[in-house]
Amino acid sequence: MLYYIGVFLIILNCVTGHNLQCDKIDNNNRFDCFPEYGSNQEDCERRGCCWSPPFGLKHNSNINTPYCYFPSDFPDYQVSSSQSLDNTLTYSLHKLNSTFRQKEILKLEARIVYDTKNRLRVQITDATKKRYQVPVFNNNYKAYEKMKRTDDTDYQIFVNKDPFAIKIYRKSSGRLIFDTSVAPLIYADQYIQFSTRLVSKIFYGIGEHQDSLAHEADWNRYTFWNRDIPPTVNTNLYGTHPFYMSLDQDGTAMGFYLLNSNAMDINVNPTPALTFITIGGIIDFYVYLGPSPSEVVAQHLDVVGRPQMPQYFTLGFHLCRWGYFTSEKLFEVIKRNRAIRIPYDVQWTDIDAMSQRLDWTYDKQNFSSLAQVIADLHAHDQYYVNIIDPAISNTPGYYPYESGLRQNVFIKPLNGSEPLIGVVWPGTTVFPDFTNPNTSVWWFEQAKNFHNQIPYDGIWIDMNEPSSFVDGSVHGCAGNQYDKPPYVPKVVGGALSSKTVCPSAQQHLSNHYNLHNLYGHFEAIATYNALRSIIKNKRPFILTRSSFGGTGQYAAHWSGDNRATWEDMYYSIPNMLSFNMFGIVQVGSDICGFSGDTNEELCVRWMQLGSFYPFMRNHNDDVSRDQDPAVFGKVAQDIIKKALLTRYTLLPYFYHLFYRSSQFGETVVRPMFFEFVRELPTHSIDRQFMVGPALLVTPVLEAAVDHVVGYFPNDTWYDFYNGHQLDISKGQYINLEAPITDINVHVRGGYVVPFQHPGLTTAQSRKNPFGLLVALKQNGTNKCAFGSLYWDDGQSLSSVDEQVFNYFNFMADQNGLTISRVRQGYDAKMILGHVKVYGVDKQVKMVTINGEMYDNFVYDDLNLVLEIKFIQVDMLLNKFISIFWS
């Protein structure tokens, strides 16, 4: 019998090309050995890989189960020596022979650093020469002491020596959370590939892509090469954030970040596993142990940098369009929205306000009164932001170009002495090299000269992938190994030069091949530093389209040129939730849609949703109809106004969340699973989201509906508007009424949410009395609620460092509320005027404030809400304020 089995296996191997190492690998565990287009059996087997059609049919993904895949005995690296010193393990690696990738590097060095108790770093480099590494620095990085006892970590590391592989276990559970043994390591000059096993079938992050929040481990591919293109599924977009988070079976979270700025593919297969393919740099990654999702994000932001604290006015409503065409039309829009009393802080202009679309200019014919319009905005406590693209016209006599030539700040083609020339809005253009120190000086000069003419309050940096309307340059590219590398990730356009500058072009720190994905990041840094000097002592406000890990230290972000569709409205939610994980927390999407004509229902619903974006801007293009609030009917205007007044009411709560983000790396908006990780339905929800820990938003994302289904975890939930408590005893889906007049918002029991009576601008709102919304927790015997408030002048750069702020803690139970002033460092008028308490389940007949009877209260015995009005207690004159009811 054994004889016949052996004969059968020999025949099978000869007929199909299989061998025993291939036959042992099922569909789900195939790792692609031919990620390029055009795989075939002959070339596959020439690589020493297995070839066979997959069993069964493929479904629902943008790549197929590979026909060509690695055998389990594919040649790999071995450990030749190792050493341990302090908190670092170092391994010398070698591979006996090259495989199929060009210029494979046979000697490597791997360093594993026990970075902190719950974070480790792995670097794998060429052992014989230095390679390009990401030149990004975190301004906030804390220099942690070296781990004195590696036994104190939350992780355990095992290194397999032959073949080399790294496995990381979580000590508390013994679960394997990272495992490179699933596929071979390939390390060539322009091709690096490694894989890791995922802890579950669901993972998050991997941006910037148009996608759902939760990604399923099925055959799929995510490509990274920053690109100017309207958000499209399965397409590389504006930013590069190779960070992912995954949840273990028990709800514990882990995270991973690859610090690499080169073009990249991340392939997903249902093992579940991820394969990282990058065409430059080194392997340099961090693994975060959490164990909670919020702790994973905080650990990641310790590495890339925590977000800046925003100016308070930037939390208000922003209005913009490409296509005002004249300053008279611009002023008309401003006045008509003022006339209907729309809360409204910031007015923007797009490239139509420029003279011939030249940076740092304005059209003195069509926008002749722009300076007067800005003066009027400032007189009404409003602000102005203008757009600047990086590409500079090479028109002779144009000062930014001529001065840039003198200071040698522009990107040059390979071996060229003159700037590389592309084409953008003004025509032929050159591109500043923001990695060059000279460029920051030159950029500051242009920004200052323009500010002397037009006193802007912030800058919008767009088209900074960088975008060009031609491929490479008007003269083509050098065509070397950087313009046409041996492997090209699946970028839109098929080439790295597609609608951007030549990868072979030279910049100060390296070639564009290495620095492309960092272009917008370095521009954000230069713009941030310029504004710090121009608008002195104030936090710069910058909005950027292109981003990289750490950009949140310098700029806000929006999701780019979306469309006026319900689908794009939905995608705005996973986008902002993902960017909060990436550390760019002041994020939003163009409300009502950038391209295409919106309609009243879509715009009203989107304005309601946008009222809970961390960054709220209505913006559209030059060929679509107007979509500012005043163009709609009276009913729609009133609904939009109601949504905006809700936002302005909640700005103190938002501001406190931004403070927590800037200081502790927390998110401002977050997925539901961040707060309820043990409730499995929350793991895939992205049509609802949390604002901080206390507010749950359930928007309508479809046309012509008046109900919406939302999931409510096992907790206490109150209707935000009237305090009615939901009747639930466990986590469950609920069908909610959703009339066009309102967006569903619920308050979570156990939290005190600070608010402020809204004005028509943030400046007006900040002068008004504060209020506290107390939502008592009902499940259990401890019916308590807690909250805090950070408050400063809303603009100074050094408020936190110099302790020029006020801080309050709030604590409540079923009998009363106490307010404790923790810090008083900012001289301001802070009057407590209003308290609402949800969940007071006994009749209230008496209220005392600081021991004195107070009569101005109402108790709603239907919704069990106590409302105390017109309090007028100075929060700064009283270190403790007590309010009791009975």
- Quick one: 5 exposed, middle or buried, by C-beta within 10 A (0-12, 13-18, 19+)? exposed
Q: In angstroms, rounded to a whole number, what is the distance separating the alpha carbons of residues 468 and 683?
A: 39
Q: How far apart are CA 767 and CA 80, in angstroms?
A: 69
Which entry of 218, 350, 433, 462 is annotated as an active-site residue? 462
Which of these, 254, 271, 201, 208, lies nearest to 235 by C-alpha position?
Answer: 208
The residue type of 870 is F
Task: Give just the sign of the alpha carbon dihedral 251, 257, 263, 267.
Answer: negative
Question: Comparing C-alpha atoms, which of 596, 672, 604 is closest to residue 644?
Answer: 604
Half-sphere exposure of 77 (CA within 13 A, CB side): 33
Q: Is the separation of the CB atoms in 70 and 183 below 8 Å?
A: yes
Radius of gyration of the chain from its Cα atoms, rounded to whole angstroms: 29
* Residue of 457, 465, 523, 679 with catalytic role: 465
**Rounded to an integer, what distance in angstroms lies between the CA atom of residue 553 and that of residue 387?**
20
CA distances from 200 to 203, 215, 329, 427, 804 (A): 7, 11, 54, 50, 46
Residue 462 known to be catalytic? yes
**Of 275, 296, 232, which is closest to residue 30 (Cα–Cα)?**
275
Identify the CA nearest to 273 among candidates 66, 547, 24: 66
- Cα–Cα distances (Å) from 606 to 476, 579, 612, in that order, read 43, 19, 10
Instruction: Single out the residue of 314, 310, 334 nearest to residue 324, CA to CA.
Output: 334
Whether 567 is a known active-site residue: answer no
Closest to 583 measured CA to CA, from 661, 517, 525: 661
Q: Which residues contact 221 (CB under 8 A, 6 or more apart)?
A: 62, 63, 234, 265, 266, 267, 268, 490
Q: Are 453 and 362 in contact (CB under 8 A)?
A: yes
How far is Cα 623 from Cα 509, in angstroms, rounded to an integer? 40
The closest alpha carbon to 836, from 691, 722, 737, belongs to 722
Q: Which residues of 858-878 are buried (b: 16+ CB within 10 A; e: fewer)?
A: ebbeeebbbbbeebebebbee
User: Which residues touch 564 (CB under 8 Å, ≥6 apart)?
Assistant: 592, 593, 594, 595, 596, 597, 598, 599, 602, 603, 620, 624, 627
**Tokens representing residue 455 in the block:** 């006193």
Q: Report how far residue 648's alpha carbon sits from residue 718's, in angstroms, rounded to the nearest whole number.
A: 20
The single-letter DSSP state of residue 370 is H
Helical packing angle, 370-379 and 327-339, nearest 10°: 20
* Whole-number Å distance between alpha carbons of 326 and 271: 58
**Phi and psi at residue 684, in whole multiples of 5°?**
-120, 10
How far is CA 4 from its chain centroid? 60
Q: Measured in whole angstroms, how far is the alpha carbon of residue 759 from the centre of its chain? A: 30
Please name every residue paired with 869 in a beta bridge, in sequence order, or none if there are none. 834
How far is the first Cα of the chain from the last one, in angstroms, to the nearest whole number?
89
What is each CA distance from 84 to 88, 89, 169, 499, 631, in whole angstroms?
6, 5, 19, 47, 69
Counting Cα atoms < 13 Å in the Cβ hemisphere of 203 gives: 30
**Whole-number Å distance between alpha carbons of 694 and 699:** 16
Pull the structure tokens for residue 591.
Answer: 């409300």
Active site residues: 462, 465
